[in-house]
Amino acid sequence: MVKFHSNLLIAGLALVSFAAVASKAQEPADQEPVKKESVALKNIAASKSIYVGAKKCKSCHDKESRGGTYSKWTEMKHAKALESLKSDAAIAIGKERGIAKPWESGDCLKCHETAYGEPAERKHKKFATDMGVQCESCHGPGSEHVTIRLEVAKDETQKVEEGVIREVEKGEIFLPDEMLCRNCHNEESPSFKEFNFGERLEKIRHLHPNREKPRVVPPKKVVKKGEKEEVKE
């Protein structure tokens, strides 16, 4: 009787072992972690607007009553992104990578030139490609925005006082998110340094003077303390 029970135990263990192996074999192979997607980039790709260029934005967005956004942008590194590819440092990096002229290489231009790689029909005939990372790299192509704003300006019943914030319609322009920035500010860049979205955001911040709070903010960090989670601003 003991031997009979012993045989049953061995058979049972073997069956459990076989089931475990079979179950593991049915599990999907290890996959790379899914990267977070940029909602802003997806919206920009789906937009029917075309790129018009920062010069077109200047007519409205360089007024002091609206924060002088265009002038602020011209002083930022983004505006000099294309120019930077001709620096000694960029040329040296290019040489290491077998790139003779970084300012002509798609590997560099995809992040240093607005709308690089976009089809010609998605760019206005007056769109300037030599102005670095322009407004539309972050906010999407602006032809529809310009058209709507001009129509509003002509409509006497729609006029508002200078300096008053007029919120745009959904889809007219887009607000950037962290993953849009990380599309270029990542380890693929030979000059990449640790990217802190919140810190970088403050360096390029261009609020309307009448806006109390920014619309783009870094995500809140959740810090685990034991079994509790605390939100850190």
Beta bridge partners of 173: 170
Using a pLDDT cut of 90, give the percent of the chain over it: 58
Q: How far apart are CA 143 and CA 124, in angstroms?
A: 8
Q: Taking the CA atoms of the chain, what radius of gyration do you get in angstroms?
A: 27
- On whether residue 24 sits in a domain, the answer given is no
Residue 159 lies in a domain: yes
Domain count, the chain: 1
Which residue, among 98, 176, 182, has the nearest Cα to 137 in the 3D structure?
A: 176
pTM for this entry: 0.77
Q: Which domain holds residue 95?
A: 39-213
Asked if the model's pLDDT at residue 18 lies above 80, the reply is no
Q: Is residue 30 part of a domain?
A: no
Q: What is the pLDDT of residues 93-108, one digit of tens each?
A: 999 999 999 999 999 9
In the DSSP assignment, the letter for residue 170 is: B
Is there a domain that residue 16 lies in? no
| Domain-embedded: residue 201 | yes
As a whole number, mean pLDDT of residues 161-178 equals 83
Helices (H), 75-159: 81-84, 88-96, 106-112, 135-139, 143-154
Residue whose token pair is 């005939």: 125
pLDDT digits 0-9 by tens, 23-49:
444 444 444 444 578 999 999 999 999
The reply to whether 33 falls in a domain is no
CB 53 within 8 A of CB 150: no
Contact 66, 208 (CB under 8 A): yes
168 or 16, which is more confident: 168
Residue 88 lies in a domain: yes
Q: Among 12-21, 97-106, 143-152, whose mean pLDDT is lowest?
A: 12-21
Rounded to an integer, what distance in angstroms lies between the CA atom of residue 220 and that of residue 26?
Answer: 38
Residue-averaged pLDDT of the chain: 83
- Domain assignment present for residue 103? The answer is yes
What CATH number does residue 184 fall under?
1.10.1130.10
